[in-house]
Amino acid sequence: MKLKKSVSGLVTLVLLGSALAACGSNNNNASSPSASGSASPSSSASASPSGSNSKQEIVMNYRADPPALDVSIAESSASFTILGAISEGLYRLDKDLQPQPALADGMPEISADGLTYTIKLKQGLTWADGSPLTAKDFVYSYQRTLDPATKASYAFMVAWIKGGENLMNAKKPEEVEKYKKELGVEAKDDTTLVITLENPVPFFTSQLAFLNFYPQNEKFVSAQGEKSGADADKVLGAGPFKLTKWDHEQQLVLEKNDKYWDAANVKLNKVTLNIVKDPTTGVNLYKTGATDYADVKGDFLKEYEGKPDLAVKKELTTGYLNFQQTKVPAFANAKVRQAFSMAVDREGLVNLVLQNGSIPSTGIVPVGNLDGNGKQFREVVGDTEVAFDAAKAKSLLAEGLAESGQTLPKNLSIIGDDTETGKKVLEYLVSQWSTNLGVNVTAEPLPHANRLDRELGKNYNIVNTLWGADYNDPMTWLDMFIKGSPFNTQDWNNDEYTTLIKGAQKELDLAKRAEMLANAEKLLLSEAAVSPMYFRSSTFLVNPKLKDLILPPYGPDFELKWAHVE
Amino acid sequence: MLKYALRRFFYMLVTLWVIITLTFFLMKLLPGNPFGEGAAKLTPENLQILREQYGLDKPVWQQYLKYMGNVLQGDLGISYQYPTRSVVSVIQHSFKASLELGLESLVFAILIGLLLGIYAALRHNKVGDYTAMLIAIIGISVPSFVVGPLLSYFVGVKWGILPPGLWTGPEHRILPALALSFGTIAILARMMRASMLDVANQDYIKTAKSKGLSSGKIINSHMIRNAILPVITILGPIAVNVVTGTLVVERIFAVPGLGSQFVSSIVSNDYTMITGLTLFYAAILIIVLFITDIAYGLVDPRIRLGKGR
């Protein structure tokens, strides 16, 4: 009896012990699991953030752990957001999306052919560790991003620099070295950087504000090896903040960088970012005052309607449909596509389904996007999309089918993401086509990766998809639909359109270029080659006392430099 | 005994190998690529460059051989989602929270579950029994993704007693551990009750009663001590279950654990992470089952086949 008892006691111990032993290597860390819980110096997270006003400290929810805080490797908006706070490029976009000189001393000197950018750096710049920051750090950064060994998935952005394509595609080490030397970026002296482009890029100055064009400290980065950007002590920036703590999947802490050139205008002393993946939990935390910033969606939105906490971010993101013309020959007829596009009431879509401040589309280029000539594209071009008209849609469909001699296949389907909203959008579209057009379409929601695979593989009838601007110029939208573009998955081939876009790519006169792009969009939409649905917005809860937190429409999630607590 | 243990150990390795092989090939059937949210913007040429850089352009069997070679050397590779972190380090880091949460919920489950079971057995077929078992049934049938948000909202927001999420201080531990322990409480309560009733009918209890021992003493030193034995033997597997099955609760309470890693790795086609985590979970389960087998053998020689040689 006694023996049996002690044996079973032992069994329990062993079982628990084995579970513990499985993570035995954790003990290398200074703190045991329970100790890390009570000893973590995160009292600010549990204290109400509003209580720390005078200290200029804020707490924010963040939806994901940033993958890597390395300028070359980073490709997600999470990395971009954090790196934007701890580092900086030659320029920084202000709240109106205008590039303001950051590490650069002034605006670039651009050659007449639009290819060569000569940029003066500020005097006496330093990295957060106090070491000097020079033009060479930019040269190193661009070379490293394009070096195939770095495996940078966004390298193609930097490949606009002359010789970039060659370097990115280099196979042998000696080729890499050769192309690195030939790359069109040069440090004339410590404070003069000269960048030569392959083709003129009218919005290149704004682009220099983006992550891919940040400098990197060669000594520091190469000392980290493959671990560059993996932990708080493996990141070095020259931005308004320093990363002082990074507890993966849990918390990041940013503290003011006193060595930053514009430290006088950085008011926040500390920003604590807690990783919160569930939006409901995020709102719960906001309600208890445990955070100053949270994502908010769906039913919670109604609760906050009209309150000062609610912030709407109008994104440079368009939700649209593509009609595959090879798989469904009827879609090769413009009238049939127009009918499908015209049969959807977009007001209903944003008011009944999306309910997040998104607005009905009036073209493919969203509201807020510039036209490449300093004006708002939508204001200049106006509405290019046909308005909702159920009766006209029905007659157009009949006309188009008769004209082309095609019929619609019986099992027409639409694919899209299987997110909560994604599924509702598909259902809405299906019901619109059924009521207004008398056409039965099956909704086929798919996991994101699967949807993308089928879309790019042109294996669909209709696809509900999204595109977000990579840069603030109509080209990021319009070059997708030229002949042979991998994103022209609907097989719409229009020579006039392709000529317009290719011409605009070479055009140096910005006014002329903007006009060509405007004409291209008009053509794209009059043909209903794509069927835009909405310009996306997203919604956040922001503590009304937190001022000047910028929510940029593309790129990073938020811009912290000018934020402060009132 | 040694021979028995060695044989079990060999089976264990074979099982692990089968699991990892199946996972590897099934995973390669997933559509899409592992190159993250930016992948939607990559042209086929750029994608091809990346595939070559990561060796994903090679035939799957070659990738498999290379991967197995690395695994045998204890290298689970680099995560695609976190290109600067090895799978091993991600597991090490994230498992801490899952383990802590699991063990804490186990403490809750044992305390509440056993008390509930004992109470029900002592009030056998009375109102107390039915109430306790009703609670147990609710505990088993209401999943943690219902209990979690309710606790988070009512205790966390409405009443403001405990934080509704995050994992920074000791006060952040209570709600997630409670939410996770619900199912286990029910299992333990029901088992303890059945075991107690079983023991109550044994002759030695009657003897003890007839000797004139106080009922408190009988319950303490005769009934509970005997009834708890079978309950203890299932604690091992339950512990593993609780420690590895924290996915939903982790998400609801923003606990930086391993469960959410599993889901995000599958969603983003993070090949190395999927196989690494499967291997890790499988290994824990199998090792515990192995130890349980051996331990049963020690306790009960009837289980040991071919004993005594």
Residues of chain A positioned with their CB less than 8 A from the CB of B225:
5
The torsion defined by the Cα of B90, B95, B98 and B100, in degrees rounded to 10, comes to: -140
Identity of residue B239: A
Neighbours of B61 (CB within 10 A): 9
**Percent composition of chain A: helix, strand, coil (DSSP 3-state, to 5):** 40, 20, 40
Residue A530 is given by DSSP the state E
Judged by CB atoms closer than 8 Å, whether chains meet at B236 and A15 is answered as yes
Contact status of B202 with chain A (Cβ, < 8 Å): no
Please report which helix (H) or strand (E) contains residue A198, including its range: none
Q: What is the pLDDT along chain A (566 residues), one digit of tens a residue?
A: 444 444 444 444 344 343 333 333 333 333 333 333 333 333 333 344 544 456 899 999 998 888 889 999 887 888 889 999 999 999 999 988 889 999 999 999 999 998 999 999 999 999 999 999 999 999 999 999 999 888 887 888 899 999 999 998 888 899 999 999 999 999 999 999 999 999 889 899 999 999 989 999 999 999 998 889 999 999 999 999 999 999 998 999 999 999 999 999 999 999 999 999 888 999 999 999 999 999 998 788 889 988 999 999 999 999 999 999 999 999 999 999 999 999 999 999 999 999 888 999 999 999 999 998 889 999 999 999 988 999 999 999 999 999 999 999 999 999 999 988 899 999 999 999 999 999 999 999 998 888 988 998 899 999 999 999 988 999 999 999 999 888 899 999 999 999 999 999 888 899 999 999 999 999 999 999 999 999 999 999 999 999 999 999 998 999 999 999 98
Judged by CB atoms closer than 8 Å, whether chains meet at A284 and B283 is answered as no
User: Residue B35: closest CA among chain A residues belongs to which residue?
Assistant: A153
User: Residue A44: closest CA among chain B residues belongs to which residue?
Assistant: B168
Interface of B with A in 68-127 (CB under 8 A): 78, 81-85, 90, 92-97, 99-100, 102-103
pLDDT score for B39: 73
User: Residue B37: closest CA among chain A residues belongs to which residue?
Assistant: A76
Alpha carbon of B14: minimum distance to chain A alpha carbons (Å)? 19
Q: Identify the three-state secondary structure at position A550.
A: strand
Interface of B with A in 226-285 (CB under 8 A): 229, 232-233, 235-236, 239-240, 243, 251-254, 256-257, 260-261, 267-269, 280, 283-284
Neighbours of A230 (CB within 10 A): 22
Judged by CB atoms closer than 8 Å, whether chains meet at A486 and B43 is answered as yes
The torsion defined by the Cα of A146, A149, A150 and A152, in degrees rounded to 10, comes to: 60
Contact status of B221 with chain A (Cβ, < 8 Å): no
Angle between helices B174-200 and B87-122 (to 10 degrees): 40
B281-295 tens-digit pLDDT: 888 888 877 877 777
Please report which helix (H) or strand (E) contains residue A78, including its range: helix A77-86
Cβ–Cβ < 8 Å for A409, A440: no
User: Residue A14: closest CA among chain B residues belongs to which residue?
Assistant: B291
Cβ–Cβ < 8 Å for A143, A72: no
Contact status of A229 with chain B (Cβ, < 8 Å): yes
Query: Under 8 Å CB-to-CB from B120, ≥6 apart: which residues?
Result: B128, B129, B132, B133, B136, B189, B193
Judged by CB atoms closer than 8 Å, whether chains meet at A249 and B37 is answered as no
